[in-house]
Every structure is written in C-alpha cells, then in structure tokens.
Structure 1
C-alpha cells in the first residue's frame, strides 16, 4: 500500500474491482457509490459538508443532493451475474476514459460443459437441446480451435437483448416471431485461444434444471427457420447408461477484441464438435492494464470485493490509519490510475 496519499485532492481516476460471481455489475457499482461519495479522496470538502447537512435536513423534512451524487462513477464493461473477474471503475473525470476499455483487448477463462445447449449459452439459462458428447476428446477440441482464431465473424445469440426493428431478439425467439432479416454478424478478433485444462468428468457441474417445453422449442425453431432453412430444435440423446455418467468439461483461455461473445465461441465450438456446449464458469482475467494476477510493471491488480464489503458493514466505525484513511481507500489508491489531481 502507498505510504503517502497524493496531496492534491480530490482525485479522478480508474481502478478495478475483482467482481465475484453472483451480483450484476450495476449492483457492485451501486454498493460502492456511498463509499466513493463520502470519501475526501474523490469529493471536495465543500460537497462533503453539503451532503452531511442534507442528511441532517432529511430528518427535518429537507431535501438535497446526497454524497453519492457528488461525484460521477461508472464501469467500463458489464459482467453478467455468472461472470467474475476484472470490473473497471471510473470516478470523476475517470469516467471519460471508460470507453477505452470497451474496445481494448480482454482476457477470459471459461469452463465449457459438453452435451447441452441452453438459451443463454450458459448455465443460468434453460436446456434447449441435448446432444452426444462421449465422442469428443481433448485432441478433437484442440483440432477445432483454429476455426475460432484470428479475425472471425460472430452471430450474436438469438436470446440476447440486441434489438432488431426496435424489438429485442429474445422476444422474437420466445414468441416464435419470424425475424425481419438474418442477425447481423460481428467482426471480432480472437488474438489467442487455447485449451488449458481437460477436466473430463472430474467436476461437479450439471445441466440446468430448467428445460424448454416442446412449445418453446417450436417457437424458437419457427423464428430461426425464418432466416435459416432446415433448422431443427430437438434432443439427440445418446443411449442412457445404467449409471449416470458425468458429461465432459474443459477450460479455455482466450484473448479477444472488444465486442466478442465468449458464450458464442463455446456454443459454436459445441456445434463443430458435433455436440452441444454451454458456459458454466466465466472469468475476465484481464482488461487493458488491469488484471487479476499482475506479473509485469505495466499491469495493475484489482481491489478484492471483500474490502468494500467490510467497509460497508463497518460504516463510520471502521478503523482509520494515522493519516485518517480507511482500508478501502488505501487499497484503491494503491491501484488507482490517476486521470487528474483535481476532480471539478
């Protein structure tokens, strides 16, 4: 941790949080807004006093701007609830730099589970289709990865919030509405892609309990057939053994350009393997210079989420050091890329 906090306050800058799997990105941001908005690191003394006065006045029926509104805060690329890892945060004028992190190279690790396709392409969704998986070997997976390296075109998932003629794609799929036109493909770059762990059946992952009904499968089939002929949504189960067999799982590591759908890579890989696959874990291990495990001088680590959780639980009762700084403030400054010394 730094021994000296910069003397020119308040600060504007960027730092990263190690987001856990579970909460949405905006929940994480909302959880730290109160801390940021009440810290002299990021808010001018006059605004902090105004916020304190407003809190007192609220008890007397008064209204005013709260501390959490005294400074801008945003994030540089959403992570879904399932995903964990690097979540870049901008404070003050640092929010103007967040756009740089949408298009930068990102690194991910993802665990893929064979034999089942879901509507969301991950374990948070519902089973859409089952397919054979016992024929898939490590060698077969590695031989197919080259199809996804370099500059490729990706079709965004049909069950996504992307809109076509003002309507989300998932609405077409759920209601069996024909698509006005094929989903526009995206050009993305897969800078690196490798299989780093073959789990086989040595894991605890299982298919989602929720399943598509026959009516839901028919609706999805009708939507897809409007732009792609001969699409069939049906299970292709292998013969069921007397003892339950755990489906194969493996872990991929990849570096990709902005806008890449990691879930689509796993989904499409399942298809070229003559099987089906979905994501069961997803970690963003690096985004720009921020990473979970920094190894070089140019890389910056992340503030553990537990640091902010403790700060919220302790409130004003939390310990401060000899200079008056709390644990979370020291942790943030230690990893802060300062954009400007004055936040006004």
Structure 2
C-alpha cells in the first residue's frame, strides 16, 4: 500500500502490471507512458504543457522516464514491473531476481521458437509419456543447471539476433554460449492428458526453411538434423498430451528451453502453449506474504486510454488511484533496502 510519501508529487516509483497475452511488453509500456506523461501525479506541472512540442519516434524523450524490469514474450502474461522517474534506475534488480512461472507444455511437436507462436520443426511420438515419466525426468532440471538459449531468440551474436542466422541459414560464428542458471523449484502441478483444447501450430517450416535451419545448426553440431522422429506420423490424428509446470528460477532462465529440453528427455518433443509470470521479485499476481506487491490489471489502463474519466475529490483519475494503491514510491523502496542492508 502507498505511504504518505505518495502525496509529494510528482512521484517516482515502481508498480506491477498484469500483462495480457498477445501484445509485446514494449507496446504496453508505451501505452502506460501516454497516460503517465499527461498526469500531474507523475510529471512536473511545468512540463505538462509541452506535450504538443515533444519529439516523436523511437528516441523521443517524454516529460518523465519510464521503463520495464524484464520483458515478457508476446505469448506470455503476468507480472511486468514498470518504473517511473528516478525509480527506472532500480529496474535492473528485476533482471537477476528470482521469478516464478506457470507454463502449459504440449507434447509431440517441436517448434522453431519453442512455443506455440512458432512453426512446426518436427513431430515425435508422445503416447509413451506418462505422468510418472514426466515427474521422474524433472529431477534432472532442478538445482544449478547449464542451459543453452534457443536458436530462435533475440539474443545477439556479433551484433546479429540468433533468429536471423536461423531464418537465413547463416552459419553461426561460434556455438551459442551456455549459461548457468538455477531452477529453485520445478513441479508438475496439473496433468491435463488429452482433456484440453490445445493443438500444434498450423504453420510448418517448408523443406527449404528446414534446410536453412539445419545448415545453421550444423555449423556448430555436424550431427544436427531437422526431421520428424520415426513413427511420429502414426499419432498425429490424436489429441497430444499436455501438462502444467510451476517453477521458481533465477534470472536469465528460458522457460521455453525447459519445455523443449524436457521433451527431448522424454524421448519426444514439446513446446510451450501458455506462459504466466506469477512473481518477479516482490511483485506478484497472487499475493500471499505481507511484503508481496500486487499488480494492476491491464483493464485499468485500457479503460483509461479509451476514456480517462473525471477526477475524484482529490483531483485524481481512476487509473491514477488504481496505480497508487499498488505503488512502491521511490523513497520508500530505498528506505526498505537500506534497512535490509543494516
């Protein structure tokens, strides 16, 4: 809950947004910025009248700084931490903090992006996989592990995103560098079996696209192949198995890679069809502890963008009030941090 310091305007601070699946994180941050830039709660009154004169474009500077503490894929929903003003300098702490996720994994199909937004790369038998086999396989992913980022990711190598190498069949200058990550907990929380509505992506890589991808992969692994596993075609007409995992992981962990590698460990293939960030640091969509910070529903901002409404008796709009109810003021955040360090 906000402290009395929120009465001292303009305010700097942090708050969490419950991002919906679909839009990019940056698109949502830009929409929030449109509201914040016109709000006397967060912007000096002397700068509010200059909105029409501000530069437009990627590098435009608004009347107040705003940023996010770790992007989510368009597919993903859940916690997106946003910083305003002076608090933007504290956003880096959320890149390395512990995060909690829930993800639905679908067996039998591997995609180029490791999730349902991608295209089919290969299909593999899945009927032999049981709940017991999944729970047994999860043991190898707990604790400190080495993880290789996906070939279809925005991670850059020599200034070029990895996905550009893969799509164009360009040999990688060197192998993708594995990273050490920590899976603090990893549990199977729901076995859906075939009782669900998920299906493999309709989009498929063409034979030429498969050859380009294979060419890139073979630049670092001569045995790499992009082809269906023997016997996979016998199961394509049936509903594939799905299950839900919950995990607490260190910064830099790719949840999509966990699902991808788990599929291999099960002698099958797999990809992510849903991904929810439940908690990032102290911000969460499921508050349990007194120190947990709840997130603002994205509906609040959608409504304000459509119609900001009228100020209340305190001169604040509905969306401003909703943010302040879940706002960690910059001064208060630093005070708590200093107390923890003493």
Q: Does 1:253 align with 2:246?
A: yes
What is the deviation of 1:86? 0.2
What is the deviation of 1:222? 2.1
What is the deviation of 1:325? 1.2
1:154 to 142, 147, 150: 147
Partner of 1:170: 163
Secondary structure of residue in 2 paired with 1:320? coil
* Aligned 8 A contact 2:5 2:331 in 1: no
Residues 309-332 of structure 1 deviation map (CA, whole Å, 9 limit, x = unaligned) = 1111113xx033211111111111
Distance 1:307 1:209 in 2: 34
* Aligned 8 A contact 1:21 1:84 in 2: yes
1:85 to 78, 81, 85: 78
Q: Does 1:328 align with 2:311?
A: no
Partner of 1:13: 13
Distance change >3 Å, CA 64–CA 240, structure 1 → 2: closer
What is the deviation of 1:172? 2.2
* Aligned 8 A contact 1:188 1:257 in 2: yes
- Structure showing greater radius of gyration is 1
135-144 vs 322-331, which moves further = 322-331
* Aligned 8 A contact 1:33 1:68 in 2: no
Partner of 1:337: 328
Partner of 1:26: 26
- Output aligned runs, 1:303-318, within 5 Å: 303-315=296-308, 318=309
What is the deviation of 1:65? 6.3
Partner of 1:145: 138
* Aligned 8 A contact 1:109 1:251 in 2: yes
Secondary structure of residue in 2 paired with 1:117? strand
Distance 2:252 2:189 in 1: 23
* Aligned 8 A contact 1:34 1:68 in 2: no
Distance 1:215 1:64 in 2: 47
* Aligned 8 A contact 1:199 1:250 in 2: yes
What is the deviation of 1:5? 7.8
Partner of 1:240: 234
Unaligned runs of 5+ in 1: 56-62
What is the deviation of 1:334? 0.9
Residues 106-150 of structure 1 deviation map (CA, whole Å, 9 limit, x = unaligned) = 000000000000000000000000000000000000001111111
1:213 to 189, 206, 215: 206
Partner of 2:93: 100
Distance 1:226 1:2 in 2: 54
What is the deviation of 1:239? 5.1
* Aligned 8 A contact 2:16 2:296 in 1: yes
Tell me the TM-score normalised to structure 2 length: 0.91
Partner of 1:59: none
Partner of 1:41: 41
Secondary structure of residue in 2 paired with 1:286? strand
Unaligned runs of 5+ in 2: 333-342
Partner of 2:335: none
The alignment yields a C-alpha RMSD, in angstroms, of 2.0
Partner of 1:194: 187
* Aligned 8 A contact 1:37 1:68 in 2: no
* Aligned 8 A contact 2:287 2:294 in 1: yes
